[in-house]
């Protein structure tokens, strides 16, 4: 049966880039070597996402929990972010990529913060792929800060107000490499109805070809959002739910 294009559409993909340290240790190298090799994978995945027509790609680069790692590993992750910004700046601008970093970047070196701000400003009007780096990011922290932001504006805290005040949109597909099967405090609100894909491939070995295979597998899935039949998005399912609630309420009145 041919796929309905309404259901094969894929807007937002999020990736937990896991397995760098274990990949290095399996080769009798220091963990930081895995992060260095893993950083080289990013540009190919970004390009593949753009080629596949994906609107938004969010990469989990450093979590609020990653501070518990050895200090040399933390410093390496900081340096790799700076090198990525310098190395990929021209490519991102030329390809009309809109680049953003989400998370608390205040802990980064001043030079790195300036590079982030400059690249965000240089790409803010681009209409190509939206590329988000989650750096020093935690899903629980994001939700708490969002609720406090809403309260500070004297607005009511609702599902809609939280959604509208988050930095990132709902995630259609969450991919985690490295063989682990958990979401590790990543985009907790946005992944409530995401499809999940856990790859056993360590991030340094992850290829654009595997990424494309995962996207195709996603497009063959049936997303229902609580319904009993295929539904393109949560909003459409909610409209049906509201209508059914109204019918039940009217029956009670009789």
The catalytically annotated residue of 66, 95, 185, 238 is: 66
% of the chain with per-residue pLDDT over 90: 81
Only one residue has tokens 């080289």, namely 40
Phi, then psi, of 130 in degrees rounded to 5:
-90, 115
Neighbours of 46 (CB within 10 A): 22
Q: What is the pLDDT of residues 96-105, one digit of tens each?
A: 999 999 999 9
**Residue 2 reports pLDDT greater than 50:** no
> Would you identify the CATH topology of the domain 8-221?
Undecaprenyl pyrophosphate synthetase (3.40.1180)
- The reported pLDDT for the residue numbered 1 is 32
Out of 4, 6, 9, 18, pick the active-site residue.
Answer: 18
User: Mean pLDDT throughout 114-120?
Assistant: 97
3-class secondary structure, 30: coil
Burial pattern 212-227, b for ≥16 Cβ within 10 A else e, equals: eebbeebeeeebebee
Query: The sheet that has 195-198: what strands, in order across it?
Result: 98-102, 130-137, 56-63, 12-16, 173-176, 195-198
Radius of gyration of the chain (CA): 20
| Eight-state DSSP code of residue 188 | T
174 - beta bridge partners?
Answer: 14, 196
pLDDT exceeds cutoff 80 at 5: no
Task: Give the containing element (helix H, strand E) for 240.
Answer: helix 234-253
Q: Is the pLDDT of residue 206 over 90?
A: yes
CA diameter of the chain: 73
Q: What sign has the CA pseudo-torsion 30, 86, 172, 192?
A: positive
Residue 45 contacts residue 15 (beta carbons within 8 Å)? yes
Whole-number pLDDT of residue 247: 62
pLDDT tens sequence across 208-241? 999 999 999 999 998 765 666 556 556 655 555 5
Handedness of CA 66, 71, 76, 78 (dihedral sign): positive
Report the pLDDT value the prediction gives residue 76, as an integer from 0 to 100.
94
When mean pLDDT is compared over 160-174, 214-228, 237-251, the highest value belongs to 160-174
pLDDT value of residue 4? 39
18 is catalytic: yes
Q: Tell me, yes or no, if 167 is annotated catalytic.
A: no
């Amino acid at each position: 049966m041919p796929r309905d294009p309404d259901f094969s559409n894929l807007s937002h993909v999020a990736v937990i880039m896991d397995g760098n340290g274990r990949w290095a240790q399996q080769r009798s190298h220091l963990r930081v070597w895995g992060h260095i090799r893993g950083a080289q994978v990013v540009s190919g995945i970004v390009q593949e996402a753009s080629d596949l027509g994906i609107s938004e790609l969010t990469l989990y680069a450093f979590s609020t929990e990653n501070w518990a790692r050895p200090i040399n590993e933390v410093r390496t992750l900081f340096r790799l972010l700076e090198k990525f910004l310098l190395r990929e700046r021209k490519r991102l601008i030329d390809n009309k990529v809109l680049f953003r970093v989400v998370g608390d970047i205040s802990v980064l070196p001043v030079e790195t913060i300036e590079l982030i701000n400059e690249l965000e400003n240089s790409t803010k009007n681009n209409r190509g792929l939206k590329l988000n780096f989650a750096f020093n990011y935690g899903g629980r922290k994001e939700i708490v800060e969002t609720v406090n932001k809403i309260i500070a504006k004297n607005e009511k805290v609702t599902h809609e107000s939280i959604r509208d005040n988050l930095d990132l949109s709902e995630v259609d597909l969450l991919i985690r490499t490295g063989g682990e099967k958990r979401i590790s405090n990543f985009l907790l609100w946005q992944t409530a109805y995401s499809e999940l894909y856990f790859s056993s491939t360590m991030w340094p070995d992850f290829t654009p070809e595997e990424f494309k295979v995962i996207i195709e597998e996603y497009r063959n899935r049936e997303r229902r959002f609580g319904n009993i039949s295929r539904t393109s998005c949560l909003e459409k399912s909610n409209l049906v739910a509201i209508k059914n609630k109204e019918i039940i309420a009217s029956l009670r009145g009789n």
